[in-house]
A = this chain, B = another copy of it.
Amino acid sequence: MALKSGEEYIESIRSLGLSAHVMGQSEQDLTRHPLVNPSIRAVAATYDLAGSPDEETRSLFQTESNLCDVTVNRFTHLHQSNQDLVNKVLMQRRCGNETACCFQRCVGMDAANAVFSVTFECDQKHGTEYHQRFREYWQRVQQEDLVVDGAMTDPKGDRGKRPKDQADPDLFLRVVERRSDGIVVRGAKFHQTGMLNSHEIMVMPTLAMRAGEEDWAVCFATPTNAQGIRYIYGRQASDTRKLEPSKLDVGNPVFGGQEVMTVFEDVFVPQERVFLDGEIDFSGQLVERFAAYHRQSYGGCKVGVGDVLIGATALIAQMNGVDKAGHIREKIVEMIHLNKTLFACGVACSAQGHPTPAGNYEIDLLLANVCKLNVTRFPYEIARLATDVAGGLLDTMPSAKDLDDPVTGPYIRKYLKAAESVDVVDRMKVLRLIENLVAGAGAVAYLIESMHGAGPPAAQRIMIGRQANLEGKMGLVRRLLGIGS
């Protein structure tokens, strides 16, 4: 049986012996580090849900591999149908519901589905053998139920210059040496979500490379504990509340996210893990497909987090005794409407998917970009409405330490009392959860990542313009009006 439990998964990460720089310290046992632990627990949820006692949940998270005869976690699945694509979205929404944060495991799934089809087409054209290599590699990922980080974003340096024209060529990750048994790479990848909770890294180029940029057109996999890789932990809003004794002020008492700056200092990658090396004509396609899968993902995960924020908003309204007020109800309906519109986009790009030449299923590219472009907007309005309903305490509430203080505690309990049946500390917990999502560590995933994850809005707009068949629409007009082209 391939599937791990959450606990087994955490143990497997621990055994990798990863180290990272976290807030100026070199840390060794990251899984137990209070800044990191909430994030690995969020990934562990993707394992525990796959092993849920609930039949329906299990059937959403478990599926059958097309590579080998084994039941796999859908997070390692190569989609075999439109229903698979829809189920991916439903699974992601469910994970968002459970964790109220980024659970980090989508990137590898999205990378794999892109690499699977792009390598197939590259082999067809260039006679390379990347696809078979990838199948073998991914079979192991499925069998061992691994977490794979997908690494795309390069530092980029001066945005006005191409990779090959940068003052420092390492500002885009590149091959610095080609050996008979593999390649040596140097560079960095930014914003690596959940990197330290991953067994493997799948590296992809960050943009479509051109002639003369073959060294930057590289795709490969490497273990996270490979020699030469360094990790520097990224800061999040209110991150150090996780280091405080009480979990109250963190808002989300269990789960959290993680982003890491990753440096590749002449890392060796053996040949069998290289999936693109110099085929510039497929670099753009890889970026575009990975991005589209990942833009679909946001129609699931952010919707799941949105559900929690809507629930918290409804709950605080109830606790404040204003849940019957017309304008409160209207705001909550609006939050639901926006969140469901995102969900609709996630589902639609899946339902309108199609098989690739390699056999796995790809979402509708245009609709996936529409999905993500909405994700760069609606969570902001949902958060704004949550802020409206939650009230001013959101940002002025005393600390958990003051709640526990013998002098101030009684005052806090006296004056934060709302409706009679409502426990004061429960009310504070809900307010802190909302704060977490609209202006704390959770906002990093719910708002800022909604903007930039899988590419910023400008990237989606370019794709929408390119995919929209404007010529066809002009043709409709010409025909209706009986005018020439």
Q: Which residues of A contact B (CB under 8 A)?
A: 21, 23-26, 86, 97-98, 100, 153, 155-161, 167-168, 170-171, 188, 190-191, 230, 232-241, 249, 252-255, 259-261, 263, 307-308, 310-312, 314-315, 318, 320-322, 325-327, 329-330, 332-333, 336-337, 340-341, 343-345, 347-352, 366-367, 370-371, 373-374, 376-377, 380-381, 384, 387-388, 391-399, 401-402, 404-405, 407-408, 411-412, 414-420, 423, 426, 429-430, 433, 435, 438-440, 443-444, 447-449, 451-453, 456-458, 461, 464-465, 468, 470, 472-478, 480-484
Contact = CB atoms under 8 A, between A and B. Distances in A.
A398 B240 contact: no
Given A311-B475, A341-B341, A401-B23, A158 B481 contact: no
Contact of A418 (B159, B452, B477): B159
30 contacts: A21-B405, A24-B399, A24-B402, A86-B351, A100-B476, A158-B321, A232-B411, A235-B397, A252-B480, A260-B396, A261-B396, A261-B411, A308-B480, A312-B474, A326-B330, A332-B470, A336-B464, A336-B465, A337-B461, A344-B349, A344-B371, A345-B348, A347-B348, A351-B351, A387-B451, A392-B448, A392-B453, A429-B483, A430-B481, A433-B480
Given A322-B159, A481-B433, A470 B391 contact: no
A388 B451 contact: yes
Contacts of A449: 392, 395
Given A326-B326, A392-B448, A473-B311, A171 B419 contact: no
**Most chain B CB within a 10 A radius of its CB, from A388, A396, A415, A483:** A396
B407 A26 contact: yes
A410 to B, nearest CB: 10
Contacts of A415: 155, 170-171, 188, 190, 261, 263
A481 to B, nearest CB: 5
Given A348-B348, A474-B315, A477-B312, A376 B401 contact: no
In this complex, the member of A100, A241, A326, A341 whose beta carbon has the largest number of chain B beta carbons within 10 angstroms is A341
B232 A408 contact: yes
Given A373-B337, A473-B311, A480-B252, A232 B398 contact: yes
Given A21-B402, A315-B474, 7 more contacts: A155-B417, A232-B408, A235-B249, A311-B476, A344-B370, A426-B483, A429-B483
A312 B480 CA distance: 10
Query: Would you list the 10 A-B pairs with minimal beta carbon distance, nearest first?
Result: A24-B401, A311-B473, A351-B351, A344-B348, A392-B452, A326-B326, A234-B396, A259-B396, A347-B348, A160-B321
Contacts of A367: 340, 343-344, 347
